[in-house]
Amino acid sequence: MAERCDIAIIGSGPGGYVAAIRAAQLGFKTVCIEKNSTFGGTCLNVGCIPSKTLLQGTEMLYHLQHQGKEFGLAFSDLKVDFTQLMSKKKQVVKTLVDGVAGLLKKNKVDVIEGLAEFVSPNTVKVTGKDKKTVEVEASYFIIATGSEPISLKDIPIDERQVVTSTGILSLPKVPSTLVVVGAGVIGVELASVYNRLGSKVMILEMLDHICPALDADLSRQLQKELQKQGIEFHLSSQAITAVVQPEEVILMANLGGVLKNISTNVLLVAVGRRPFTSGLQLEKAGVEKNKKGYITVDGNLRTTQPHIFAIGDVIDGVMLAHRASAEGVAVVEYLKGNRPEVDYLAIPNVIYTYPEVAVVGLSEQEAKEAGIDVMVGKSYFRGNARARCTGETEGFVKVVGDRKSGKLVGAHILGPHASELIAEAMLALQKKAKVEDLADAPQAHPTFSEAIKEAALDALGRPLHQ
């Protein structure tokens, strides 16, 4: 007999599990279906969380190696215990995925492990690893099945020597050489990890600049900083084929117009992700996808079948965990009769390199293209007292405002703790604050946040510290 519920959520990533918790809190009888044995999806298991743990460990190493001496920290035998670093990563992942299991239980979400497929618009069949099946009937469904790495036709992935963002997180040892295809977020973050651990790292990027979604100023500066750290970049370059041999991969690539064979221990393919809808049998539910494979949704995140919703990476838009969570909450609030809104413009985007990059709102180019009479202010961390104290003087804050209304339209930070600093600009943008509000904010001294104030002052033509 089929299990009946109000809302069935397929997928337990940051979109699905957050939607499930909120749905249950709002009084819906909620089921969350997950094909993997742990909750949390890509983000917790093989994405944000493990990568940020590896980035943290290796950034500590980087600072000790490059700044230790200045601060009088002498050591003669600084070693990396890679196995321990990997254990730390596993332990952090376990704590968080167990935490999600605990939250689902506490909120009385019914969880079912197995692969869901629609058998009709109102019923899914869930097949467990033991091949046993259970049917779930629901008044509403939320598809939150996420995304998977894109692979290149002539470069087969084995997740050992030719890896995606999943395999690179579980290498058995630090490779002597690492070639990364794609200078996007995953490319630069994971290149940073292994560069700091001592691998010789090369990145190939098809375009003539890295991290294409970034404001051009930040993209250029980030590349410079990463080059200073030893990462080699080849822009306007493409990977063509790869042959795997016992200890090396031979990559044939077009490096800026010249064909070359490159030998590397490990090849990371990080050329983007695509929506994951495999096995869902969407056609049996009347749910349509667009040409790029994303599930089509309307402004309320309803698919072509009005009682079925889709959120997160499986629909078009920037692939971010916090965007998926916001959409998950918005859907269940909508089903409760509330009028939620996801403020897409105020969703920040972070790259956890050193220095970090964090952006929110429109870039200078986007603002100009939107016909805004742009005012721009900048503040460099080399002029920030706190950054001087910590020795993290690379980078800047760039504030973009609308000269006519005075409102903030975007903020772009490349520098220390940018991931945390962006929160102030995000709130300012969400609350439609003016650049002047940021300039008037009384910041504690000495803090990195003063750089935001200073950039806002600069945009208004009254800088104090530059």
Region 185-204 residues binding ligand NAI, contact defined as CB under 6 A? 185-187, 189, 204
Which stretch, 215-223, 318-326, 330-338, 375-383, contacts ligand NAI (CB under 6 A)? 318-326
Type of residue at 458: D
Whether 445 is a known active-site residue: answer yes
By CB under 6 A, name the one of 68, 102, 230, 272 that touches ligand NAI: 272
Q: Considering beta carbons, is residue 184 or 415 the nearer one to ligand NAI?
A: 184
Task: Specify the long-range contacts of residues 91-94, CB closer than 8 Å, at least 24 apart.
Answer: 92/49, 92/50, 92/53, 93/40, 93/44, 93/45, 93/49, 93/50, 93/53
Told to check if 183 binds ligand NAI by CB under 6 A, we report: yes
CB of 249 to ligand NAI, least distance (A): 15
Query: For the chain, what is the radius of gyration of the CA atoms?
Result: 23
Phi, psi of 206 (to 5 degrees): -65, -40
Told to check if 350 binds ligand NAI by CB under 6 A, we report: yes
Please list the residues that pair with 234 across neighbouring strands: 204
CA 201 to the chain's CA centroid:
21
Give the contacts of 340 (CB within 8 A, at least 6 positions apart): 329, 330, 333, 334
Q: Copy the structure tokens of residue 382.
A: 């080399």
CB of 18 to ligand NAI, least distance (A): 16
How far is the C-alpha of 246 from the C-alpha of 268, rounded, in Å? Answer: 17
Q: Considering beta carbons, is residue 10 or 185 the nearer one to ligand NAI?
A: 185
Told to check if 156 binds ligand NAI by CB under 6 A, we report: no
For residue 355, is the peptide bond before it cis, meaning its omega torsion is within 30 degrees of 0? Answer: yes
Of 140, 115, 110, give the one whose Cα is nearest residue 126. Answer: 115
CB of 149 to ligand NAI, least distance (A): 7
Type of residue at 301: L
Q: Considering beta carbons, is residue 270 or 335 the nearer one to ligand NAI?
A: 270
Q: Considering beta carbons, is residue 19 or 267 the nearer one to ligand NAI?
A: 267
Residue 383, CA atoms < 13 Å, CB-side half-sphere: 16
Told to check if 212 binds ligand NAI by CB under 6 A, we report: yes
CB of 67 to ligand NAI, least distance (A): 24
- Residue 319 sits at the vertex; the CA angle it makes with 316 and 323, to the nearest 5 degrees, is 95
Q: Considering beta carbons, is residue 186 or 457 the nearer one to ligand NAI?
A: 186
Told to check if 320 binds ligand NAI by CB under 6 A, we report: yes
376 close to 398: Cβ distance less than 8 angstroms: yes
CB of 182 to ligand NAI, least distance (A): 3
User: Could you say which of 66, 209, 307, 445 is catalytic?
Assistant: 445
Q: Which 3 state secondary structure label does DSSP give 200?
A: strand
By CB under 6 A, name the one of 34, 46, 122, 205 that touches ligand NAI: 205
Q: Copy the structure tokens of residue 313.
A: 């990476």
By CB under 6 A, name the one of 10, 46, 231, 270 that touches ligand NAI: 270
By CB under 6 A, name the one of 138, 319, 330, 433 that touches ligand NAI: 319
Told to check if 101 binds ligand NAI by CB under 6 A, we report: no
**Catalytic residue list:** 445
Using CB under 6 A, list all residues that contact ligand NAI: 152, 181-187, 189, 204-207, 212, 238-239, 270-273, 318-320, 350-352
